[in-house]
Amino acid sequence: MDDRGGSFVAVRRISQGLERGNTCHSTSGKSEVVAGSAAWLGRGLSCVCAQRRESDARPSFDLTPAQEECLQRLQSRIDVPYDSSIPEHQEALRALWNAAFPEEELHGLISEQWKEMGWQGKDPSTDFRGGGFISLENLLFFARNFPKSFQDLLTKQEGDRSVWEYPFAVAGVNITFMLIQMLDLEAVKPRTLVGATFLKFLAGKNESAFDLLYCITFKLMDQQWLAMRASYMDFNAVMKATRRQLEKELLVEDLIRLEDLPSYKLLTR
């Protein structure tokens, strides 16, 4: 519980579960529900909206060589933790600040200023534990490619907003991890239809398919927030609704591009 009265609920994965080298695709991990502060709670935790039942059917889908290569590249991105000692990571964080607040000078990578973006403290690196470096890359891609939508969400410009809002940056990290689980991206190959469907967008020349889907999902999540007239404590319910809608759109027959998703129209540059 935080000082605004809200809390996120997360699922702690007690064991690592599926290993990518395990060709039988079985899972042995158990889950327990834990309550935490209204922020990302670290690697190994995920929103309740992404919880899976071990009894769920897990069909396996064959990949083309191109799809397998693209999936491996994306998985290599997912595996990179945020490391505040790496210059590339430091520069990416500074770039995110400059994109978000171009007219405000950043005093340091550890600063009270970061709370303006929706991090839970003065050191954003503590929040990246849940999504790794790719969650920072996602936010930066969003800021650079859809600056109007990024700023609208950051500053809560659209709709009849709730008094208790979700924290922008922390919500972004949650979205990254939700997508990783929804698309089953940590498996050797997808074991869900929605995961297999996504790979057809990832293969080929569109190396930024995951980043684009992230932008679509963030905007869709905000739309769901407004439609549900949500308050801070409704974050998990909003994320569940977002996931259901996104899966529905991805599984539309004959979908050719991510740009053809109905929710893509929510984005503005």
Asked, for residue 103, whether it belongs to a domain, the answer is yes
Rounded average pLDDT per 10-residue block, the chain, 269 residues: 37 32 35 34 39 52 85 94 95 97 96 95 89 96 98 92 89 96 91 90 79 98 95 92 97 91 95
Asked, for residue 72, whether it belongs to a domain, the answer is yes
Which pLDDT belongs to residue 24? Answer: 32
Asked, for residue 44, whether it belongs to a domain, the answer is no
Nearest CA to 12 out of 40, 38, 32 is that of 32
Number of domain units in the chain: 1
Contact 104, 113 (CB under 8 A): yes
pTM over 0.85: no
Which pLDDT belongs to residue 42? Answer: 37
Nearest CA to 35 out of 248, 260, 236 is that of 236
Asked, for residue 91, whether it belongs to a domain, the answer is yes
Q: Give the C-alpha distances (Å, rounded to integers) separating 117 from 41, 68, 166, 226.
A: 17, 36, 11, 20
DSSP conformational letter for 166: P
What is the C-alpha separation between 231 and 3, in angstroms, rounded?
14
Nearest CA to 5 out of 141, 151, 164 is that of 164
Which residues span the domain enclosing 128? 66-266
Which pLDDT belongs to residue 67? Answer: 85
Contact 97, 117 (CB under 8 A): yes
Which pLDDT belongs to residue 4? Answer: 37
Which pLDDT belongs to residue 79? Answer: 95
Asked, for residue 43, whether it belongs to a domain, the answer is no
Asked, for residue 125, whether it belongs to a domain, the answer is yes
